[in-house]
A and B are shown apart, each in its own frame.
Chain A
């Protein structure tokens, strides 16, 4: 595709429900990042993949958050037993790991937990 895509764009979940957010990176991009952006704040790093390997998950706020990228392309961020504080925009970015390592961002998924 032309850019990074994410789905769904909007998700409303009741507290306690599990959600799965999908990211389709730019074809051929090795690196994939997930960020969380609370209202009025800058994005904050959650986790990083190089191909299918999750090399850094230091930003995941709790063990309710889980990410995977089994074939080194599409990635899914899963949040179990959602809480109100999980309400945020979840951004995915990919990079080709060459040159300046510019990151290309998707439009994000806005998660609202009620």
Chain B
């Protein structure tokens, strides 16, 4: 699976949009971008994934650049409960394979 690079930490004001970047310059054509988050003392939680089109669900939006070498996870209206470590993971979809986590981005939502 391709390696990803994320900033170690970010702050965001409550109610504002949180934009979390991820670089995955070595991504292959059949690899998807997945985002998980881990709230303190909990297990990781799936957020969203995509291949090349932008995706949106009830939790977040995922914007993938045209060359697919980077992406941005957007939490449109961050709340204090969104404070967590966010992991960007690249992997082949449709296969039951393990997730390869990096160090992630610690997002702190400030009141």
- Partner-B contacts on A (CB < 8 A): 4, 30-31, 33, 35, 41-45, 48, 50, 56, 59, 91, 93, 95, 97, 100-108
Contact = CB atoms under 8 A, between A and B. Distances in A.
Interface residues of B, number: 21
A71 B103 CA distance: 34
Contacts, number: 58
Given A43-B101, A103-B46, A48 B41 contact: no
A42 B87 contact: yes
A79 B59 CA distance: 37
A41 B96 contact: no
21 contacts: A31-B96, A33-B99, A35-B99, A41-B103, A42-B102, A42-B103, A45-B99, A50-B96, A93-B43, A93-B44, A93-B99, A103-B46, A103-B99, A105-B42, A105-B43, A105-B44, A105-B45, A106-B43, A107-B41, A107-B42, A108-B42
Interface string B72-106: 00000000000001010000011111111111100
B89 to A, nearest CB: 9
Q: Which has the most chain B C-beta neighbours within 10 Å: A50, A102, A103?
A: A103
Interface of B: 41-46, 49, 85, 87, 93-104
A91 B87 contact: no
